[in-house]
Structure 1
Amino acid sequence: MKRWLLSLLLILLFIQPASSHKFYTSMTQMEYNNKTKSVEIIMNVFWDDLEVTLSKKYKKQIHIHDAEFDTFLKNYLQQVFQLKNSRSQLKAFQFIGKEIKGDTMSIYLEIPLPEGLNNSELQQAVLINDFEGQTNIVNLINGKAHKTLVFKEGEVKKKISI
């Protein structure tokens, strides 16, 4: 049932036109790579929502095709998407890039994490302050273990035990 609901949410996320979507959800996949000892991240969001949030935050119109968009995006993500290791040390992400797919944007990040994902803490507050009802779903993969976390207003930080 849980997988079915998650699949339905994914489908709805990507078929809704950006100009009229009535619910606000992002999907993030975080997979631990044992070879590189890092977390590989793909975050999928509606790019028009990102434009609204970044424009509001930086008090100027920001569009996805602007030359400085990536700089604004990285600065914003550093504040709202954070991973602390099991010793509560903030781990910086490496911005790999982004890709626009229709109404959505895939953002690719990597976080070196030699100690592994277990007992770390994740903050996933992307878009939560700007869109009522924003929900951020994070699928965690650590070897054969899978776990899904849901972040929303008032619940933007969670411990990871996987």
Structure 2
Amino acid sequence: MKNKFKIILFLTVFSIMSSFTVHKFYVSVTQIDFVPKKQRIEITSRIFIDDFEKVLKNKYDKNFYLSTKKEIPEADAYIQKYLEEKIKLVINNKPYKVTFITKEVEDDVLICYLKVQFSEKITTFEIYNSVLTEMFSEQKNIVHTDINGNKKSFLLTYSERSTLLEF
């Protein structure tokens, strides 16, 4: 009876652990800061490399090998093109194009640095973020903002891709 209990306990624990490894977690985290002294908005987006590569390969039909020795020379241009399409800002009711600056790797995350030149007072700030949602409908894009000294956080998803802040 004792052995039967151990086997059932083992199978239960194994089953629970297996369910965690089968389901993948799709998330990105983006920080957006208005830096008046630099007259720009700084954006830092953290995206899992493997998911990002799958989306880029699917969209552009190329293997990118991001942040490896085999990375293709035009990778940054494709990242810029993709992020321009997927991260959009409308400030004071006027759309602004994000500019890709550079990237770096931290563990299995690609950190992308972007900016928007802007020096006026911000009264409205709309954020659109649909990174990876075209391939992963369960993708969650967490956005943290620090604008005019106001810090806010949002969860953007496949069905809710934007949010509007008013100051």
TM-score band, normalised by shorter chain: 0.7 to 0.9
Contact 1:85–1:115, Cα closer than 8 Å, also in 2 = no
Shift of 1:61: 2.3
Task: List per-residue Cα deviations over 1:37-60 (Å, max 9, x = no partner).
Answer: 211111001011111000000123
Which structure: larger Rg?
A: 2
Give the aligned residue type for 1:54. Answer: L
Q: Which residue pairs with 1:81 in the alignment?
A: 87
Q: Which residue pairs with 1:37 in the alignment?
A: 39
Shift of 1:20: 7.6
Contact 1:37–1:116, Cα closer than 8 Å, also in 2 = no
What SS is found at the alignment partner of 2:38? coil
Tell me, in whole angstroms, the C-alpha distance in 2 between the residues paired with 1:27 and 1:21: 19
Give the aligned residue type for 1:104. Answer: V
Contact 1:32–1:117, Cα closer than 8 Å, also in 2 = no
Tell me, in whole angstroms, the C-alpha distance in 1 between the residues paired with 2:87 and 2:127: 7
Shift of 1:84: 1.2
Segments of structure 1 that go 5 or more residues without pairing to the other structure are 1-18
Contact 2:80–2:99, Cα closer than 8 Å, also in 1 = no
Say what the alpha-carbon RMSD is for the aligned residues. Answer: 1.8
What SS is found at the alignment partner of 1:35? helix
Tell me, in whole angstroms, the C-alpha distance in 1 between the residues paired with 2:146 and 2:23: 28
Q: Which residue pairs with 2:136 in the alignment?
A: 131
* 4+ residue segments displaced more than 3 Å: none
- Which of 46, 67, 74 is the aligned partner of 2:73? 67
- Which of 149, 153, 159 is the aligned partner of 1:148? 153
Shift of 1:90: 1.8
Shift of 1:72: 0.8
Segments of structure 2 that go 5 or more residues without pairing to the other structure are 1-20
Tell me, in whole angstroms, the C-alpha distance in 1 between the residues paired with 2:141 and 2:112: 14
What SS is found at the alignment partner of 1:72? helix
- Which of 107, 111, 119 is the aligned partner of 1:106? 111
Tell me, in whole angstroms, the C-alpha distance in 1 between the residues paired with 2:121 and 2:23: 36
1:159 equivalent to 2:161? Answer no
Tell me, in whole angstroms, the C-alpha distance in 2 between the residues paired with 1:75 and 1:68: 11
Q: Which residue pairs with 1:16 in the alignment?
A: none
Assess, with a 3 A threshold, how the Cα gap between structure 1 residues 77 and 44 changes in structure 2: closer, same or farther: same
Identity fraction in percent: 29
Shift of 1:21: 7.3
Q: Which residue pairs with 1:8 in the alignment?
A: none
Tell me, in whole angstroms, the C-alpha distance in 2 between the residues paired with 1:51 and 1:73: 10
